[in-house]
Every structure is written in structure tokens, then in C-alpha cells.
Structure 1
């Protein structure tokens, strides 16, 4: 026999029901694209749990609901760009928060206890079983990203006040960046080969790609601003650097369950510290040599 629900509770259940069926569709779509049988089985099991939860809430609401289309599209895009492990971890964080809300329904709906258990324990364990290839190369990406941010931020900051021209800085940074990308990728390949990594080439490609993308983003302000607006270009570049660090650290913290604040603060502090030192060196060298460009 169904419990007599208040209107407020019924609205809550409808929202929860829609969330569960939305997650079911998201997990199912990720599973359809997954080629690894073990991962596909894990994803299909999670999707099955979600549709069961939606059915449980549906018994109390007496309605059938459709998934949130915008959420399906958004998480589909995130999965394509950042990998399904990131999407699943993100969803699981949301599910854990939802489990806390479900606790308020225990008196009215005893079956909520089973859903809470699933959301907070069972699905977490399933998500931990996932083994996505791109996460194996996070170390390679970190290597390329960190080196590009620290080396190029320092070099560009120093060049900015030494050359006083966005075009000259962009030209210099592109030459330095491309050369450094090839050097970094080659060094990574040789190091991985020496360690006996059978996928040394792929690892070096991830490192080089991360480095090159970072270089492009950092040089972009100097290509867009007028030649005399080198200070504005530097400021914009530093904002982009912080956003890159923020984005990547958030991705890694979610996908690999690592603390966000400490890693973000550490990486930001080192990068901006190097930029400040390089800026002062560039200014001092220009003054000492008496160069005026």
C-alpha cells in the first residue's frame, strides 16, 4: 500500500525520479560506446540500478517521467571531451548528495533506505572498477601541462617587459613553445622507453599534445591585442594560466578522487612565482644592457 504523501514530498519524488531516469540514460549511452566488455558490464549494471530507483519513486508518484534532455546532452559532451570516468565520478558526487536528501524520506518511504544504500555504497564501488585508458596517461599530461605552464609563463613574462611588443613576444614564444614541445615529447618517449613502457609513443604524444595546447592558449592574447598592449596581454595570459590550472586540477580531483584545493594552490603558487621572478629578471636585464626596443 502506498504511503499518503504531502504535495511537497510528491514534488520532491518527481524531481528524484526524473534525476534517476536521466542518469539511467546517461549511463546507458556511455555503455553503448564502451568497447571494453568489463567496463560495459559495470556501466550497464549502474544503468540498471538507476532505472530501478526511478521505478521505486514512480510507485509513489504514480507518474512516468522523461529524462532531462539538456543534462543528457551536457554529460554526453563532457564524456566525449573528458572521458566517461570523469562523468561517472561527477554523477556519483551528485548521487551522494542526493542520498543525504533521501534520508529525510525514510519515515514516509521505507524503501528509500535501499536506494540510499545503493547511491552511497554500491554505485561508488562499481565506479571504482572502471579502468579508462586516458587516465593511465594523466601523469604524461601533467608533465606536459606543468612544464609548459612553468617554463612558458616565466619566459613570456620575461620577454613581455624586455621586448615591449605583443608581436615580438608572440613570435619568440611560438618559436620557444614549438621547440620545447618537440623536446619534451622526445624526452618523454626516451624516458618511457628506458622504463620499459610498451606504450611509450602514446605517452609521449599525450605529453607533447598537452604542452602544445597550453602554448597555443598562452600565446593567443599576444596575437589578439594591439602591439603596444603588452601589459594587457600579459594580464590576460596570467588569467588564462590560472583557468587552465583550475580546470585541469578540477578534472583530476574528480576523476581520481584527489584533493582539489591543495593541488590547485601548489601549482598556481609555483607558476605565478616563476612568472614574477622571470618578469623581474627581464626588466633587470633590459635596464642593465640598456636595450630599448
Structure 2
């Protein structure tokens, strides 16, 4: 019943052909609910908080993410059906419906942001590696958090514009997709990451404390994006998370040592 309410809400949000497919799936879910209501004699209402949660995920991370996340929940339900198939003859038809739902949903998954996932990944990865390293080095070379914040912000904005221009030229030379859209996705991902990484230096007065929060923010961004990729692309979470984390923190550590060396050799103390 929860899934029926959710698919109806998604249908209203999507509209058009997608909405029609989602309404058909919602009707099937209501019918499945009626089967179990007949067996149990229990009337249940949709879990509104769960409906709200998936709608929020669809709004924040896209329709594809929400649907893929829901699919994983349905896969677990299908495993449970196998344990009771011999007691309830309707289970076979329900499992067949769920399989059809999965095929129908896969047919809907053509979201623009996924077509430009490589551009988003480029901006996000580049910002994490470059700016985390730059902020780590600046935190040791410069003893003032506000100065580090301004230097990091200027560096981040300049790098975002540079990456956007490079992505535009790259896409145009390859002759595929929309170069301007790819550039905008790259630049937006870069700037959003810059905001997360630089913010602690504007809020906190001690640069090393701010750097610690920046590193926590970097880990959070990596975890969130890796989880997103795990859901929409069915890739392993741990291996991709460790790889991205190792690269970003490794560059930050090297930059930190360079900043320390620069401060001692040049005697910089701003």
C-alpha cells in the first residue's frame, strides 16, 4: 500500500507517458495489497513518512535514484515471497508483476543528469582532489583562516571556470551530446564542492581546526556521491569509496607537507 501511494505521487510529479506507466504499477500494488488483506484480515494504511522520504530523494537526487532505491527494497520483498510461495498460490502472479514493474521502470530511466554523469564526476573529483590539497597546503603556509578561505574561494572559482571551459571544448571536439550542458554540469558540481570545502574557513578562526572540518566535509561528499553511484549504476560502494577517499586524502597529505616545508623555508606567517 505504501508503494501504491508512492507510485501515484511519482506519477503526478512525472506526468505524460511516465505518469501512465507509474499509475499502472500503482494499481498493481493496490491489487497486491488486497490479496494480503484478504489473507490476513488486516487493513493497513500507507506509511506516509516513507512516501515523503522517497519523494524527497526524487527531488534531491532525481527520479532514477528514487526508483532504483525502491527497487532494492522490492528485491528483498521478492526474496521473502520465495519462502511462502507453497502456501499462497497468488505469490507467483505477484512476483511476475514485480518483475514486469522492474522492466517498465527501467524503460523510464532516461534522466538528463545521468547522461552527464561523467561531467558531474569530473567536476566533483577534480574539486575534491585539487581544492582539498590546496586548502591543506595553505593552512600550513598561511596561519590565518580568513586568508586561507579567500585564497581557496578564488582558487576554486577560477578552477571551476577552467574545468567548465575544458569540458566544453572536450565535448565539442568529440562531437557528441551538448557541450554547453556538459560544461554547466561540470562547473556546478565543482562549485558545490568548493562551497562545502571552503565554508569551515569562513566560520572558524583557527585554520587547522577548519581544515579538520573540511576533511570531514570531503569524506561526506565522497560517501554521498559514492552511495548515489552505487544505487543508480549498481557499482560496489566500498571499493569506489576507498579509491576516491585515498586519492583525495593522499593529495591533501602531500600538499600539507609542501605547505609545512614552504612555511619553514620561506618563513611565511600571515
> Normalising by the residue count of structure 1, what TM-score does the alignment of the two structures yield?
0.87
Match of 2:241 among 264, 284, 293: 264
Alpha-carbon distance in 2 for matches of 1:127, 1:280? 50
Aligned to 2:230: 253
Correspondences of 1:269-288 after superposition (within 5 Å): 269-288=246-265
Aligned to 1:134: 113
Give the C-alpha shift of residue 230 in structure 1: 1.4
Runs of at least 4 residues off by over 6 Å: none
Alpha-carbon distance in 1 for matches of 2:265, 2:63? 54
Cα 1:242–1:59 shift into 2, 3 Å: same
Give the C-alpha shift of residue 220 in structure 1: 0.7
1:34–1:40 contact (8 Å) kept in structure 2: yes
Alpha-carbon distance in 2 for matches of 1:70, 1:163? 48
Aligned to 2:162: 183
Aligned to 1:17: none
Give the C-alpha shift of residue 36 in structure 1: 5.5
- For residues 38-69 of structure 1, what are the alpha-carbon distances to aligned partners after superposition, in whole Å with 9 as ceiling and x for unaligned? x3344333323322211211221234332111
Aligned to 1:71: 50
Where structure 1 has 5 or more consecutive residues not aligned to the other structure, the ranges are 1-20
- For residues 196-228 of structure 1, what are the alpha-carbon distances to aligned partners after superposition, in whole Å with 9 as ceiling and x for unaligned? 2342111111110000000001001111112xx
Where structure 2 has 5 or more consecutive residues not aligned to the other structure, the ranges are none
> Normalising by the residue count of structure 2, what TM-score does the alignment of the two structures yield?
0.94
Q: Does 1:160 align with 2:143?
A: no
Q: CA RMSD in A?
A: 1.6
Correspondences of 1:1-293 after superposition (within 5 Å): 21-35=1-15, 37=17, 39-119=18-98, 121-129=99-107, 130-226=109-205, 229-293=206-270
1:103–1:116 contact (8 Å) kept in structure 2: no
Alpha-carbon distance in 2 for matches of 1:134, 1:259? 21
